[in-house]
């Protein structure tokens, strides 16, 4: 018995040594402990003029670009306006309306037709700075915009950033290239926010609205109709759906109506909308109308603020906003939704 034990011991030692060698060569058969590293979610900036998340990050790396856009029947279809962050609609001479389309988060390859500057534009651009693109203008209007803190680019200085479309007739055929205009630079970067926005799924507070009419002079009234599917306001101009050159319906998330005083009278050559001080406002957002006021400090660089009757800040839906500069004393025509029993 003792002999057997003495013989088996060396065998056990050899087996143990072989097992160690095999383990070192091929790895342990014991289950490995894995370590999972969780990467933090990427953080994207919020575009200052829309309140939307900007995955590209470009909105915080460039200034505001304001392009003056014609709004007559001869100008249609307009290009690029649906991709503007903010659009101002103003009354100019003759009672017609014209647009100031403000770009920051997007840069369309074709914007226009580009037309001349008006004194109201000076009031609009002061808080924004950046770049102002236009086709020219009367001496008094050019002198006015020259006082604003913007880089002025007209057809004579734009180079390849503006072009004439040979398929259309002048003066309704001048278009801007937004990327080319951004290359001229401008300050501040980024531009200041113009509105406050609701967060998440927070619903708007106000009276439900099916549609409303902004009664600009002559045949320029605009009808805005709530589209519950797209959660935006469909624009109708000259009795037709307002469709861009790329086939997109103009349909912003918000429409702000500012009742303002047009100095020197509506429709005169040198008239302009006075955006200093305060006045009534109607904000249409999320299918609701919020009645309140607009106000702007004594400094031209102050941003307009919007408040309810109780003094609370009015919050918009993130996305594009149109601002209608309607003459004081004018009344909106608002249609409520039909109640079915």
Q: With respect to residue 27, please indicate whether it lies within any of the assigned structural domains.
A: no
Q: With respect to residue 316, please indicate whether it lies within any of the assigned structural domains.
A: yes
Mean pLDDT lowest among 19-23, 118-122, 185-189, 273-277: 19-23
pLDDT of 10 > 70? The answer is: no
Q: With respect to residue 3, please indicate whether it lies within any of the assigned structural domains.
A: no
- Position 254 scores a pLDDT of 98
Mean pLDDT of 197-211: 90
Q: With respect to residue 40, please indicate whether it lies within any of the assigned structural domains.
A: no
Gap between the Cα atoms of 155 and 162, Å rounded = 6
* Region of residue 11 (left: phi > 0; alpha: psi -120 to 50; beta: else): alpha
Q: Which residues in 21-33 are b (16+ Cβ under 10 Å) and which e?
A: eeeeeeeeeeeee
Domain range spanning residue 314?
58-335
Q: With respect to residue 136, please indicate whether it lies within any of the assigned structural domains.
A: yes
- Position 34 scores a pLDDT of 54
Work out the mean pLDDT of the chain and round it to a whole number. Answer: 89
Total domains in the chain come to 1
- Position 323 scores a pLDDT of 98
Q: What is the pTM of this model?
A: 0.87
- Position 20 scores a pLDDT of 34
CATH number of the domain that 182 lies in? 3.50.90.10
More confident residue, 137 or 29: 137
- Position 40 scores a pLDDT of 75
Strand 86-91 relative to strand 315-316, pairing: unpaired
For residue range 11-33, list pLDDT tens digits in order: 333 333 333 333 444 444 445 55
Gap between the Cα atoms of 153 and 114, Å rounded = 11
Task: Enumerate the β-bridge partners of residue 176.
Answer: 111, 162
- Percent of the chain whose pLDDT exceeds 90: 80
The band of 340, judged by pLDDT with boundaries at 50, 70 and 90, is: low
For residue range 224-249, list pLDDT tens digits in order: 999 999 999 999 999 999 999 999 99
- Position 170 scores a pLDDT of 95
Gap between the Cα atoms of 66 and 11, Å rounded = 90
Q: With respect to residue 43, please indicate whether it lies within any of the assigned structural domains.
A: no
Supply φ then ψ for residue 170, to 5 degrees: -70, 150
Contacts of 188 (CB under 8 A, 6+ apart): 63, 129, 130
Gap between the Cα atoms of 339 and 294, Å rounded = 31
For residue range 69-106, list pLDDT tens digits in order: 999 999 999 999 999 999 999 999 888 999 999 999 99
pLDDT of 3 > 60? The answer is: no
Q: With respect to residue 276, please indicate whether it lies within any of the assigned structural domains.
A: yes
- Position 6 scores a pLDDT of 39
Q: With respect to residue 6, please indicate whether it lies within any of the assigned structural domains.
A: no
Mean pLDDT lowest among 40-44, 119-123, 265-269: 265-269
The band of 325, judged by pLDDT with boundaries at 50, 70 and 90, is: very high
The band of 291, judged by pLDDT with boundaries at 50, 70 and 90, is: very high
DSSP H or E segment with residue 12 = helix 2-26
- Position 54 scores a pLDDT of 97
Task: Give the residue among 240, 108, 125, 236 at the shortest CA–CA distance from 180.
Answer: 108
């Amino acid at each position: 018995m003792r002999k057997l034990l003495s013989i088996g011991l060396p065998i056990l030692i050899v087996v143990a040594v072989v097992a160690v060698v095999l383990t070192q060569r091929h790895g342990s058969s014991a289950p490995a402990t894995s370590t999972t590293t969780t990467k933090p979610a990427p953080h994207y900036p919020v575009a200052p003029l829309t309140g939307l998340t900007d995955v590209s990050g470009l909105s915080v790396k460039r200034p505001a670009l304001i392009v003056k856009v014609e709004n007559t029947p001869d100008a249609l279809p307009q290009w690029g306006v649906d991709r503007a962050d903010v659009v101002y609609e103003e009354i100019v001479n003759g009672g017609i309306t014209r647009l100031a389309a403000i770009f920051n988060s997007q840069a369309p390859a074709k914007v226009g037709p580009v037309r001349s500057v008006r004194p109201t534009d000076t009031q609009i651009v002061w808080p924004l700075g950046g770049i102002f693109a236009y086709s020219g203008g009367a001496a008094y209007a050019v002198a006015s915009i020259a006082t604003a803190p913007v880089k002025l680019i007209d057809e004579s200085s734009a180079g390849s950033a503006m072009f004439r479309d040979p398929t259309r007739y002048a003066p309704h055929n001048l278009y801007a290239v937004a990327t080319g205009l951004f290359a001229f630079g401008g300050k501040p970067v980024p531009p200041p926010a113009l509105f406050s926005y609701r967060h998440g799924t927070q619903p708007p507070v106000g009276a439900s609205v099916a549609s409303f009419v902004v009664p600009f002079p002559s045949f320029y009234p605009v009808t805005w109709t709530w589209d519950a599917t797209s959660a935006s306001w469909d624009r109708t101009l000259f009795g037709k759906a307002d469709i861009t050159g790329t086939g997109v319906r103009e349909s912003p998330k918000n429409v702000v109506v500012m009742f303002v005083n047009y100095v020197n009278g509506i429709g005169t050559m040198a008239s302009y909308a006075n955006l200093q001080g305060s006045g009534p406002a109607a904000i249409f957002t999320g299918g609701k109308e919020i009645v309140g006021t607009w106000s702007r400090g004594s400094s031209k660089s102050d941003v307009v603020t919007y408040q309810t009757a109780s003094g609370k800040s009015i919050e918009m839906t993130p996305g594009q906003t149109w601002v209608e500069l309607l003459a004081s004393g004018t009344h909106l025509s608002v249609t409520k939704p039909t109640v079915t029993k």
